[in-house]
Structure 1
Amino acid sequence: MNRREALKSLAALGLGTAAGRAAAASGTAASSRPVRITLPSAGSAGSVWRPLIDQNHFDQGLDLHWVTADPGSMQVQLTAGSLDVGVFGAVGLATLASKGSDIVLFGPALNNHGRWLVKANSPYRTPRDLIGKAIASTAETSETWQQALIAAHLDGLDLHKDFKVIHGSPTANLALFQRGDVEAIVTLEPTASRLVGQGAREIARVADIWKHATGERNSPPLVGLAASRRWLDANRDTAQRIVTMFVEVNRFVHQHPQSLTQIATQIGLKSDETAAAALLPQRLADAYATTWDAETFATIDRQIDTAASIGILARKPDRKIYTQLS
């Protein structure tokens, strides 16, 4: 090979010219750029992600920077760029989209894992038995409550009119339930397993209410991976690798549900809560979503349509709040 041919070969590889070297350096920098991703709080189902990703090297070579975030500030963080990837539910995001937000869902995260619980000696067997009684749940703007409201509506119950609802923080709700100030609590995992481990009785799952009312086979999404459209447009390859990472870690939970018991203390259970830890594999594995397809999108659309019909949303967003990367 003569010198001219060698230079052509190097140029074809992006190495023989200053421009080629700059492009290669740019590609390396892009692939190693930190991804600021939401760090779910201990005591939430999402808190399993970081330990399982770290232990099993599901990070796809990404430089993950876990950032503490909460639903109330996540929109600001994503819009401002202090957070690249968060999680959002369909109803909450549809509310923001109607106000001009450019945040979009782009991959699976968690299925709905809301539970209705009563005391062990309670006479109530179904949510319908609790009509007229006091129940506790999270804030009215939380996805947990809004999706419980939607599922119940489709099944013929109006949670606003049929129950005396006390909205509060998970800690406050837990205290109300344990004191007997409310007859039931609507909460998420792993708090639900913690209560069952202490003797509480589960009478319904929000996902099952949804499936019974709609005829759908799969649990509806609670939250999906979310980012601003601006960030997605500039980082589509990185975003796809993040989707792959979450599908892999969530699928791992399905295949190895016992791993949840092994990291129970890392996700908020105390070391002596062995009964609750033992329940996690059978109760929590279904919460981890692995699909992001037309069926998922149809469910999201149905959630938004129902939310609009019962007044949770003032109006439906003008655009789809989700996208398919590939």
Structure 2
Amino acid sequence: MVNIADRAGSGVMGRRGVSRALVVLLLGALLAACAGGEDNRQGGTSAPSAPAAAGSEDAESAGDLVPVSFAASAGSSSIGLLAGLIKDRGIDRAHGIDLQISEFAPDAAEQALLTGQVDTSFFAPVSWAKVREEGRDIVFLRPIQQAHTAVVVRDDSPYQSLQDLQGERVATLNPVSGVYTSMQVLAAEVGLSWEGDFEVISAPPPGLVAFIEGGDAEAIVHFEPTVSSLLADGGYRIVMTPSERWEELTGAPLFMLGLATTREWMEANPQAARNLSAVIQQAVETLHDDPSVIADYQEPLGLSDEALEIAQERMSDIYIPEDPADIEDNVHHLLERAHELGIIGEIPEPIFEEP
């Protein structure tokens, strides 16, 4: 795997590649500066709440709203859409909680939970297994969404499949992200090595688009709704949708993100944890069953009219309305594959827990 900083100094990319990599580096530095320091927060709107004191369930039953902080991904994202819907429709308040949204870079939301900046966050399954192995007691409460990514190439390129890209430069998010780890496992499932058969470049989301626009990568693995925007703009096409390919191979979509918290918070706030699960359940059901809702967020998602139509078709299916028990076997298979590859150690059990 090649990091942008390494490539920018290597002289391999040529003048255009180096200049574009430097632009991405400067962009990353600017985002970090705007984030307010070490916590990588991208315009977080509220401070994390402290765990509720013992006896808080009495306050909840009396109708008081219990504050629960949640790390959402900043910018145009599927999790940002979910969080916006929850707040705009008062879904959290209907379930007795005040969901306080803090926005982070996509790869920093998990860290925000680990460092106690928020009560809850989204988490990728491979990352979850890794931190559990390190002794961090993070628990999954319920699923949120399956993989919402696509392998995108320029329309005039010769590539027709993931296999065709062997030996080529492919850009995606950094190795701690669910996007990256899901590609590790999926590549192995089709007989390839993600790091061995491809020249993988890591970059922040804006950098991925810059790489393929400038011809400095032959393909990118990006998420929605950016993929829909690229398709609408023209000049790009999809050679593989990871979740669809995983379903062809295993019979179920590729699980990517679940609702997570610490065991300490869950045990101190069991009713709030149950209520939060119900909030997420209602929100994902809404987005899954009624993709027209996405039109209400066309402007914040940065979608043109054509991109909106594509996003409504592509995004509704990524949200998982099923109960945790219904997808546990699928998640277990994903983790088994990661274990076989040496990406994770033992698989934590159970995968989902009820407060």
Q: Which protein, 1 or 2, shows the higher relative CO under an 8 Å CA cutoff with sep ≥ 6?
A: 1
The verdict on a shared fold, with TM-score over 0.5 as the criterion, is yes
Unaligned residue ranges in structure 2 (runs of 5+) = 1-54
Equivalent in the alignment of 2:315 = 284
Deviation at 1:72, TM superposition (A): 5.1
Q: Measure, in 2, the Cα distance between the counterparts of 1:274 and 1:183.
A: 27
CA distance in structure 2 between the partners assigned to 1:203 and 1:73 by the alignment: 28
Aligned residue number for residue 7 of structure 2? none
% same residue = 25
Aligned to 1:49: 82
Aligned residue for 1:102? 137
- SS of the residue aligned with 2:102? strand
Give the 5 Å matches for 1:228-247: 228-247=262-281
Deviation at 1:321, TM superposition (A): 5.8
d(CA) in 2 for partners of 1:76, 1:184: 28
1:152/1:210 contact within 8 Å kept: no
Q: Which residue of 1 aligns with 2:339?
A: 308
8 A Cα contact 2:87 2:99, kept in partner? no
Which amino acid in 2 is paired with 1:129?
D
For residue 256 of structure 1, the aligned residue among 280, 290, 295 is 290
Task: Say whether 1:208 aligns with 2:244.
Answer: yes
Closer/same/farther in 2, CA of residues 132 and 237 from structure 1, 3 Å limit: same
Give distance in 2, aligned partners of 1:23 and 1:220. 37
Tell me, yes or no, if the aligned pair for 1:254 and 1:286 is still in contact at 8 Å. yes
User: What amino acid is aligned across from residue 57 of structure 1 in structure 2?
Assistant: G
Contact 2:73/2:109 (CA < 8 Å) preserved in 1?
no
Residue aligned with 2:313, SS = helix
Of residues 24-33 and 161-170 in structure 1, the stretch that sits farther from structure 2 once superposed is 24-33
How far does the alpha carbon of each residue in 1:109-160 deviate from its partner, in whole angstroms, 9 at most, with x for none?
Answer: 1211110111112222111122222211111221101101211211222222
Question: Displacement of 1:89 after TM fit?
Answer: 0.7
Which residue in 1 is equivalent to 2:330? Answer: 299
| Partner Cα distance (1:73, 1:181) in 2 | 26
Q: Which runs of 5+ in 1 are unaligned?
A: 1-21
- Aligned residue type for 2:259: L
Q: Which runs of 4+ in 1 moved over 4 A?
A: 22-31, 70-76
Match of 1:156 among 176, 186, 191: 191
Radius of gyration: which is bigger?
A: 1
Q: Could you tell me how far apart the structure 1 residues matched to 2:350 and 2:63 are? A: 26
In the alignment, what sits opposite 2:168?
133
* CA distance in structure 1 between the partners assigned to 2:170 and 2:107 by the alignment: 24
Deviates more, 1:137-146 or 1:258-267: 258-267
Q: Which amino acid aligns with 2:305?
A: T
Is the contact made by 1:135 and 1:165 (CA closer than 8 Å) also made in structure 2? yes
Question: May I ask how many residue pairs the two structures share in their alignment?
Answer: 298
SS of the residue aligned with 1:63? strand
Q: Contact between 1:104 and 1:321, CA under 8 Å: does it hold in 2?
A: no
Displacement of 1:27: 5.0
